[in-house]
Chain A
């Protein structure tokens, strides 16, 4: 069980990561914000010990995935156009093309790419996290990369 200070420290350390993963699932800043809040509330109420920082991080990723999937199934959704997403991301010019291309990908490609390339999970760990076979993870990573290359016009170093 967290103390108040431990909760705040953990929330501040992990909320950007939770938000990014949720954004990859939801494709909406508003909904990613909702998911982030829900996950932090679950963390606050979690009456369980975490064995290590890695255990906590893994638990948060798992809860974020579950919370995102739950919200995706909800009939209540808040849609955001790609233009609005780009505005809200407020990225520098050099990042915008890649961000747009990534957000145009279906979430089944976007999420493994995020967890693999940003969070650094292995394909075996991703298979456990996403509850899909390792071969499917590798296929989705490959297809996601191919789609990114196509949408960016085969630009070098996509």
Chain B
């Protein structure tokens, strides 16, 4: 005989995580509105108007997930078969700790940046008129520690993709900052011979233009989070009118890391 009462008692104890609704708000791009309405700084009558505006603007959102210890990422990946062709393979990834996914709305445009300030006493000169989608430089003639890396991911690269960090990561900050949704991530990796490397990441997602800036530096190079914030503040962002080409992602996930390419 099936005891319905026991079953109901057992499952009634299972609840959605307490921060579910807050995460939903964040994904809807309404995190700022949520904070404002919660603190009572805006009249309740105006809230629906703001929500409608946010929806009409088609704002995107970033979503973070901290993986449980021992949890694996499973999905497919396009790998070289050795004869020049590529094939889809199921892959299981162990050792990831933080995962990001994005809700991308609207058309994605090409985005470039030009740095206004960079850490380190000497760094390359970045003067290209249109701007850059990726820069990286470091000590010892770009062979030593990485002083700074800046990469922009357009919305097309973020759609249906899950980005993850290896190693031990700490999500220090997740908030609204300037025009971005900001994440500050501290990463600790054990390299060869037990050497421990620490990297700082500042991730800035634009809900309006659907791009992600990843600004990073190695602690061994002396780059801290304040440096990365200053890099961000002085970046010149060029959101072009050029649409990006829609491509089917060849993998379900990709690593965000800091290494010489």
Contacts and interface: CB of A to CB of B under 8 A. Distances in A.
Given A3-B48, A33-B20, A20 B14 contact: yes
B16 A16 contact: yes
A59 interface: no
A117 B73 CA distance: 33
A146 to B, nearest CB: 10
Q: Which of A98, A102, A148 neighbours the largest number of chain B CB atoms within 10 Å of its CB?
A: A98
Size range of the interface on B? 35 or more
A76 B252 contact: yes
Interface string B29-60: 00000000100000010011001000100000
Nearest to B90: A75
B interface SS class: mixed
Contacts of A52: none
B65 A95 contact: no
28 contacts: A4-B48, A8-B21, A11-B24, A12-B21, A15-B20, A15-B21, A16-B15, A19-B15, A19-B16, A30-B65, A30-B71, A33-B16, A36-B16, A36-B20, A41-B28, A75-B90, A76-B74, A76-B162, A80-B68, A84-B68, A84-B71, A88-B68, A89-B13, A89-B14, A92-B13, A117-B2, A117-B4, A148-B2
Interface of B: 1-4, 6-17, 20-21, 23-24, 27-28, 37, 44, 47-48, 51, 55, 63, 65, 67-68, 70-76, 90, 103, 162, 252-253
Interface of A: 3-5, 8, 11-12, 15-16, 18-20, 23, 30, 33-34, 36-37, 40-41, 44-45, 74-81, 84, 88-89, 91-92, 95, 98-99, 102, 113-114, 117-118, 145, 148, 156-158
